[in-house]
Amino acid sequence: MRPSKYSGLDKGTISLGLAESDFDIPKEVKEAMVNAILEGRYHYEMGGVPEFLEAAVEKLRRFNGIDATEEEVLPTVGAMNGIWLSYKVLLKPGDHVIVVTPTYPPLIERPKSFQAEVTEVEAREDWHLDIEAIEKALTDRTRVITICNPNNPTGAVYTRDELEQLAELVLRRNLYVVSDELYEHLTYDGKRHVSIASLPGMRERTITIFGFTKTHGMSGLRIGYVFAERELAKRMREENAAVVIHPGTIEQIGAAAALKCDSYVNSLRDYLQKVRDKLVAKLREVPGVELRPPEGTFFAFPNLSSLFESDKEAVDYLLKVARVLVYAGSGFGKGGGGHVRMNFCSPISIIEEAADRIVRALTRRSAP
Amino acid sequence: MRPSKYSGLDKGTISLGLAESDFDIPKEVKEAMVNAILEGRYHYEMGGVPEFLEAAVEKLRRFNGIDATEEEVLPTVGAMNGIWLSYKVLLKPGDHVIVVTPTYPPLIERPKSFQAEVTEVEAREDWHLDIEAIEKALTDRTRVITICNPNNPTGAVYTRDELEQLAELVLRRNLYVVSDELYEHLTYDGKRHVSIASLPGMRERTITIFGFTKTHGMSGLRIGYVFAERELAKRMREENAAVVIHPGTIEQIGAAAALKCDSYVNSLRDYLQKVRDKLVAKLREVPGVELRPPEGTFFAFPNLSSLFESDKEAVDYLLKVARVLVYAGSGFGKGGGGHVRMNFCSPISIIEEAADRIVRALTRRSAP
Average pLDDT score over residue span A218-230 = 97
Test A42 with B25 for CB contact under 8 angstroms. yes
Residue B64 has pLDDT above 70, yes or no: yes
Q: In terms of domains, do B295 and B310 share one?
A: yes
Distance CA B289, CA B309 (A): 14
SS3 call for B24: coil
Cβ-contact B153, B180 below 8 angstroms: no
**Range B41-75 burial, b when 16+ CB lie within 10 A, else e:** bbbbbeebbebbbebbbebbeebbebebeebbbbb
| Secondary structure percentages of chain A, helix, strand, coil, to 5 | 45, 15, 40
Average pLDDT score over residue span A241-260 = 97
Write out the H or E segment, with its range, that includes residue B64.
none
Residue A368 has pLDDT above 70, yes or no: no
Size of interface A-B (CB pairs under 8 A): 156
The pLDDT, as a whole number, for residue B320 is 97
The pLDDT, as a whole number, for residue B368 is 60
Express each pLDDT in B41-56 by its tens digit. Answer: 999 999 999 999 999 9
The pLDDT, as a whole number, for residue B268 is 98
Chain B interface includes A250 (CB < 8 A): yes
We report the CATH number of the domain holding residue A8 as 3.90.1150.10
Chain B interface includes A22 (CB < 8 A): no
Considering the entire predicted model, what is its pTM? 0.96
Express each pLDDT in A175-216 by its tens digit. Answer: 999 999 999 999 999 999 999 999 999 999 999 999 999 999
Test A223 with B248 for CB contact under 8 angstroms. yes
Distance CA A128, CA A101 (A): 10
Sort A171 into a burial class: Cβ within 10 Å, 0-12 / 13-18 / 19+: middle
Q: In terms of domains, do A126 and A232 share one?
A: yes
Q: Which residues of A touch B245 (CB under 8 A)?
A: 77-78, 80, 222
Q: In terms of domains, do B168 and B315 share one?
A: no
Question: Of B42, B78, B244, which is closest to A80 when you measure between CB atoms?
Answer: B244
Q: In terms of domains, do B246 and B276 share one?
A: no
Residue B66 has pLDDT above 70, yes or no: yes
Average pLDDT score over residue span B17-39 = 96
What is chain B's mean pLDDT, rounded?
96
pLDDT confidence bin for B5, thresholds 50/70/90:
confident
pLDDT confidence bin for B6, thresholds 50/70/90:
confident
The pLDDT, as a whole number, for residue B196 is 98
The pLDDT, as a whole number, for residue B133 is 98
- In sequence order, the β-bridge partners of residue B180 are B148, B209
> Residue A204 to residues A41, A48, A177: CA-CA distances in angstroms?
34, 22, 10
Express each pLDDT in B122-181 by its tens digit. Answer: 999 999 999 999 999 999 999 999 999 999 999 999 999 999 999 999 999 999 999 999
The pLDDT, as a whole number, for residue B100 is 98
Cβ-contact B137, B165 below 8 angstroms: no
**CA-wise closest residue to A127 among A304, A333, A273:** A333
Express each pLDDT in B320-329 by its tens digit. Answer: 999 999 999 9
Minimum CA–CA partner of B85 in chain A: A243
Distance CA A350, CA A272 (A): 12
State the complex-level ipTM: 0.95
Residue A2 has pLDDT above 90, yes or no: no
Q: In terms of domains, do B206 and B350 share one?
A: no
Q: What phi and psi values does residue B294 have, to the nearest 5 degrees? A: -60, 135
Residue A1 has pLDDT above 70, yes or no: no
Range(s) of the domain holding residue B328: 4-24+263-366
pLDDT above 90 as % of chain A? 96
Test A242 with B113 for CB contact under 8 angstroms. yes
Average pLDDT score over residue span A275-289 = 96
The pLDDT, as a whole number, for residue B2 is 72
Q: In terms of domains, do A291 and A232 share one?
A: no
Question: Of B45, B222, B223, which is closest to A220 when you measure between CB atoms?
Answer: B45
Average pLDDT score over residue span B7-24 = 92
Test B77 with A78 for CB contact under 8 angstroms. no
Please, which residues 23-82 of chain B have a Cβ atom closer than 8 Å to chain A? Answer: 24-25, 30, 33-34, 37-46, 77-78, 80-81
pLDDT above 90 as % of chain B? 96
Q: Count how many domains chain B has.
A: 2
Q: In terms of domains, do B47 and B77 share one?
A: yes
What is chain A's mean pLDDT, rounded?
96
Distance CA B75, CA B240 (A): 10
Q: In terms of domains, do B11 and B144 share one?
A: no
Distance CA A265, CA A215 (A): 7
Test A43 with B245 for CB contact under 8 angstroms. no
pLDDT confidence bin for B224, thresholds 50/70/90:
very high
Average pLDDT score over residue span A332-341 = 98
Express each pLDDT in B69-119 by its tens digit. Answer: 999 999 999 999 999 999 999 999 999 999 999 999 999 999 999 999 999
Q: In terms of domains, do B122 and B53 share one?
A: yes
Express each pLDDT in A87-131 by its tens digit. Answer: 999 999 999 999 999 999 999 999 999 999 999 999 999 999 999
**CA-wise closest residue to B134 among B85, B99, B107:** B99
The pLDDT, as a whole number, for residue B14 is 96
Q: Where are the alpha helices (DSSP H) in A261-347?
A: 262-283, 311-317
Q: In terms of domains, do B254 and B114 share one?
A: yes
Kindly give, in sequence order, each residue whose CB lies less than 8 Å from that of residue A2, ignoring residues fewer than 6 positions away: B43
Cβ-contact A48, A69 below 8 angstroms: no
Of B201, B228, B260, the residue that ends a domain is: B260
Chain A interface includes B92 (CB < 8 A): no
According to DSSP, the β-strands at A206-211 and A176-180 are parallel
Express each pLDDT in A283-329 by its tens digit. Answer: 999 999 999 999 999 999 999 999 999 999 999 999 999 999 999 99
pLDDT confidence bin for A35, thresholds 50/70/90:
very high
Cβ-contact B283, B358 below 8 angstroms: yes
Residue A51 has pLDDT above 90, yes or no: yes
Q: In terms of domains, do B302 and B328 share one?
A: yes
Minimum CA–CA partner of A32 in chain B: B37
Of B260, B276, B306, the residue that ends a domain is: B260
Q: In terms of domains, do A32 and A123 share one?
A: yes
pLDDT confidence bin for B7, thresholds 50/70/90:
confident
Of B225, B260, B295, the residue that ends a domain is: B260
Kindly give, in sequence order, each residue whose CB lies less than 8 Å from that of residue A39, ignoring residues fewer than 6 positions away: B1
Cβ-contact A197, A227 below 8 angstroms: yes
Residue B366 has pLDDT above 80, yes or no: no
